[in-house]
Structures are given as structure tokens and as C-alpha cells.
Amino acid sequence: MIVIAAIFVLPLLVAWFMYSGTIEYKPSATKNLGVLVQPPVPLDWEEAIVLAGNSDIPPAAGKVFNEHWVILYPVPDNCDKDCFREVTDLRQIHRASGRQQSRILIALLIRESANPQTVAMLREVYPVFHLISDLSGSVATALAQAAGDNMAIYLIDPLGNIMMAYPSGSDPNDLKQDLKRLLTWSKLDEQS
């Protein structure tokens, strides 16, 4: 009887000690494949203007973007073949999301003075992309604060926080796996 009681009581005692702080346990590794932004950096979508994308999204898209998981890709001034490869990878990630597609928006941050041919080519790659422009520079400032200049893709939660970043040339499957895990366990975008 003592052994049976210990089997039930011992886990409760360990949990209580961990909760109270008596026992400190921090995992040595995490499962995320991207760079975790700590602390998450808030992003104000109100400064971003949607130039093209889903017709359901108004020009000032703050509220709609804050209700979705957003993959944000700042398009370089000179969008070369590597840039188009990354944009194509984002299209594939969105398509591979299956029934979760409605929870994800992909936003391409372009300069207002971007080459019209580049903009047209980005629209051709995937019409579901949301092309946005950051007129005040606040989005670019938040991205630099979150992870510096060496990151190419950012994952933003439905509360508007930049929470993960991926370097240029990283495996698109890393983002796909992190996003799948987040969509499985998170209900942030289902609060309404």
C-alpha cells in the first residue's frame, strides 16, 4: 500500500516543489528551429499599408493582421533569384498548411519606391500574398530590434508580437515545422 501511495503522491510533491520554486528546472534545449525572439517585440500594424492582396483586407490592416499568424518577409531592394526562391518557399509553406491556411497570412514588406516589375512578379508568384509598405519605418525598426539585420523571415503571433526569426537561406521546412507546432497548440487567433 505504501508503494501505491508513493506512486500517486510523489509526482504531486515534485510538481508542488517545482511550482513553488524550491526545485529549479530549465530545459537545456527547445524544439523551435528558428531563432526565438526574447522578449517578443510588439509590432504596430497600423503603420503598414496594404498595397495588394486579398480584397477582404482594408488598406489599414492592423486589426486583420493581429488576428492571424503572419509570416513577414522584407523584400530586398534588388529582388534577385535568391529572393524569389524564398518567396516561392513561402508560397509552398502556405499551401502545405492545408486546412490551417485561413489562420496564416503572408506579408511581403516592400518599399514604396519598389520597382513595379518586381511588384508584378511578386504578385504572379502567389496572388494570396499581402504586399505591404511601411511608410513611417516603424515596422523596419521593430524588425531590427527583434533580431538584427541578418534575419530574412519573421513569424508574428496574432497578438502582434515578433516571436521568431529565420536567417536568409535557412531551410523552409524549419519554418513549416515551427508553424505547424504553433498552430496545433495555440488558440490565440481563435479568441474572437
Give a yes or no: residue 75 inside a domain.
Answer: yes
Contact 88, 75 (CB under 8 A): no
CATH number assigned to the domain comprising residue 142: 3.40.30.10
> Hey, what's the cell of 10?
510523489
CA of 70: how far to CAs of 7, 58, 62, 78, 95, in Å? 45, 16, 12, 23, 14
Which residue has 502556405 as its cell numbers?
94
Number of domains in the chain: 1
Q: Residue 138: which residues within 8 A CB-CB, separation 6 or more? A: 44, 47
Q: Specify the pLDDT at position 55.
A: 47
Give a yes or no: residue 46 inside a domain.
Answer: yes
User: pTM for the full model?
Assistant: 0.77
Give a yes or no: residue 43 inside a domain.
Answer: yes
Give a yes or no: residue 157 inside a domain.
Answer: yes
pLDDT tens series, the chain, 192 aa: 999 999 999 999 999 988 888 887 776 666 788 888 888 898 877 766 666 555 455 555 566 677 889 999 988 888 888 888 999 999 999 999 888 888 999 988 887 777 788 888 888 888 888 888 876 777 888 888 887 667 889 999 988 899 999 998 889 999 999 999 888 888 766 654
Whole-number Å distance between alpha carbons of 51 and 122: 12
Helices 172-185 and 81-96 meet at what angle, rounded to 10?
A: 30
Give a yes or no: residue 22 inside a domain.
Answer: no
